């Protein structure tokens, strides 16, 4: 238990569906991240939020839409996905650079997404 929770743990959706992934961190951190992990590929950074402001958008298709309403919650809204978007989606949080220290990222358990 890392203090970062994600729901749902598993999600199967059709290409025309709209769904949302939720992440919550109980660590008092200021930065939150979305990563995508596909089979046989390294972790890919998708979005970074620092103090609820999006500071990074790594050329992610617009069918993925992040939302960070406060420093403890992060959402990833999904619509019109493609089968190649099937992957493990991981949320992480960290203290943020302004706090000093190593700024270690702590990961949630992930949502296993399958797009049919």
Partner 1 sequence: GQNIDQPTEMTATEGAIVQINCTYQTSGFNGLFWYQQHAGEAPTFLSYNVLDGLEEKGRFSSFLSRSKGYSYLLLKELQMKDSASYLCAVRYYNTNAGKSTFGDGTTLTVKP
Q: Name which of 116, 115, 113, 110 is nearest 5 in CA terms.
A: 110
Say which residues have a Cβ less than 8 Å from residue 29's Cβ, sequence separation at least 6.
71, 93, 94, 95, 96, 106
Which C-beta is closer to partner 1: that of 79 or that of 106? 106
Which C-beta is closer to partner 1: that of 23 or that of 115? 23
Question: Which positions touch partner 1 (CB under 8 A)?
Answer: 2, 4, 30-31, 33, 41-43, 45, 48-51, 55-56, 90, 94, 96-98, 102-110, 112
Q: How far is the CB of 50 from partner 1 (least distance, A)?
A: 4
């Amino acid at each position: 238990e890392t203090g970062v929770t994600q729901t749902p743990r598993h999600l199967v959706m059709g290409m025309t569906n709209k769904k949302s992934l939720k992440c919550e961190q109980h660590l008092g951190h200021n930065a939150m991240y979305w990563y995508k992990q596909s089979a046989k590929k390294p972790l890919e950074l998708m979005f970074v939020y620092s103090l609820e402001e999006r500071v990074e958008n790594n050329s992610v298709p617009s069918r993925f839409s992040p939302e960070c309403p406060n420093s403890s919650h992060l959402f990833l809204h999904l619509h019109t996905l493609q089968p190649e978007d099937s992957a493990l989606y991981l949320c992480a949080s960290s203290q943020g650079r302004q706090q000093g220290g190593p700024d270690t990222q702590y990961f949630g358990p992930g949502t296993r997404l399958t797009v049919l």
